A and B are shown apart, each in its own frame.
Chain A
Amino acid sequence: MNRALLIAWLAVVSVISTEALQADVIHREKSLYRNIEITETNERRCLIFAVRQTNHNQSCIDLADPKKIVFPYVRMTLAGLLVQPEIERALIVGLGGGTVPLTLSELYPDAVIDSVEIDPAVVRVAEEHFGFKPNEKLTVAVQDARVFVRRQLARGHRYDYILLDAFTGEYIPEHLMTKEFLTEIKRLLTKDGVVVANTFSSSRLYHHESATYADVFGELYTMRLPTSGNRIILGARSGNLPTKDILEQRANTLGSALTPFGVALAAFPKYITDRVDWDSGAAVLTDQYAPANLLNRP
């Protein structure tokens, strides 16, 4: 038994170490919030928020074709375009490698794309290694998202598209997953604005998080791809999401614009559903009750 365990362990170790060998670490730093690593293979450069052994690829670019979005879950975050295809101003919460803001600014050259990222090291790394070049239409604020959202509300700014993706999988900023925060996000949206959230799909948190979004936005669309463990939520400020027919229609019109980014938008509607597959009686997360990390245990 012990021997079997040992062999299994060795096998695991060898798999991990060969994987580590294949990718060169080209940059490594300890920021205020996390350990950051950038690895590079022949094809890919990846931003990794290194925690424990389970290194989590946060964002990757294809070196031969930097426009192409590597991860399915990142592609999914563009599904919001089916709900709100007209963007004058978008907000990305959680910069990562800057893939989504870059993509949106290419798709909508006249739009203002604001990002907010708490970690200055992530912003620096995105600029140095992932081709993220801020300008007056592509801005990034180094700030806590909750503070930024409140300030933008006070300044009277409104967004057509808000993407919430501030979660690394290891630690959840609990004050960014409450009913109050989502209500602030809803107020920050324009009349036809859409919120897109990259969310957790395992653990008890799934029910609580889903119930919280449903409480604030009412009807929701959710989407999963067969190739990704993530799930995204789509919610509208108006509470009225477009019908599946309209989604199909938009997917066909917009589809070709997204092809250079490796996003098969035309195929998205069939993965989008309004089915409630969570426990709708789960406690809604609030500023008073926000144990998101404790609920996210497997």
Chain B
Amino acid sequence: MSVELLGGRILAPYFGSSIYVWGSIITIFMMALSVGYLIGGRLSLHQPSLFRYGLFFIIAAIALTPVIVFANAWMDAVFVRIEDPRYGSLVASTVLFFIPTAILGMIAPYSVRLVVESTTTSGQVAGALYFVSTLGSALGTLMTSFYLVLWFDMNTIISVMIAALLIAGVAAMAADRFFPIEDIGNQTVTNPMEANA
């Protein structure tokens, strides 16, 4: 959500801040998340492990870095080719945000798979995960829009998010290596929040 909010800021210099820019961003984030959920669910079928789970975080972090490094160059390219700012902003948000958001979306169903122990408790576990990840999104939205943009540069905020994803990813991988099985519950409950915040 935090990235989504900053997405509006990132696109504004090229495509303005009209309602259609927000429309583009929200559309692309929703589409990317839905694809991510599907792929994440599919991947959870084959030998799910904390190690692979951690890998999602690391790949998401890597996929987010172009937002810092290449955003202006990519948006320049889109701006030159597409006159209509509606489609320009749609294409730009696809190029910048689709992949990282889809990967972040993969985390949610994968978390369910890692935490659920029986079909009886699956609903409760899924509920708890939704709770944590949506609450994390809410706090991320609030912090970003009320305070972070006042305190920091946009790229600083995104860099910190990338760092948080990397730390979470490495933590999950380390947990897999050093404490197999027992710690799975705790790890997966805290990680989705960082992913969304």
Taking Cβ atoms with an 8 Å cutoff, the residues of A that contact B are: 32, 118, 143-147, 150-151, 154, 173-175, 178, 180-181, 286-291, 294-295
Contact = CB atoms under 8 A, between A and B. Distances in A.
The 4 closest A-B pairs by CB, nearest first: A144-B16, A175-B12, A288-B153, A291-B150
A220 B154 CA distance: 29
Nearest to A32: B19
Q: What is the size category of the interface that chain B forms with chain A?
A: 20 to 34
A118 B139 CA distance: 32
Contacts of B79: 150
Contacts of A294: 146, 149-150
B148 to A, nearest CB: 9
SS of B interface (majority):
helix
Interface of B: 9, 12-19, 79-80, 83, 85, 146, 149-150, 152-155
A291 to B, nearest CB: 4
A75 B29 CA distance: 46
Given A150-B79, A288-B154, A294-B149, A181 B85 contact: no
Nearest to A295: B150
15 contacts: A32-B19, A144-B18, A146-B14, A147-B14, A147-B16, A154-B80, A175-B9, A175-B16, A180-B13, A287-B13, A288-B153, A289-B153, A289-B154, A294-B149, A295-B150
A14 to B, nearest CB: 37
B29 to A, nearest CB: 20
Given A291-B150, A294-B150, A146 B16 contact: yes
A118 B153 contact: no
Contact of B17 (A144, A154, A295): A144
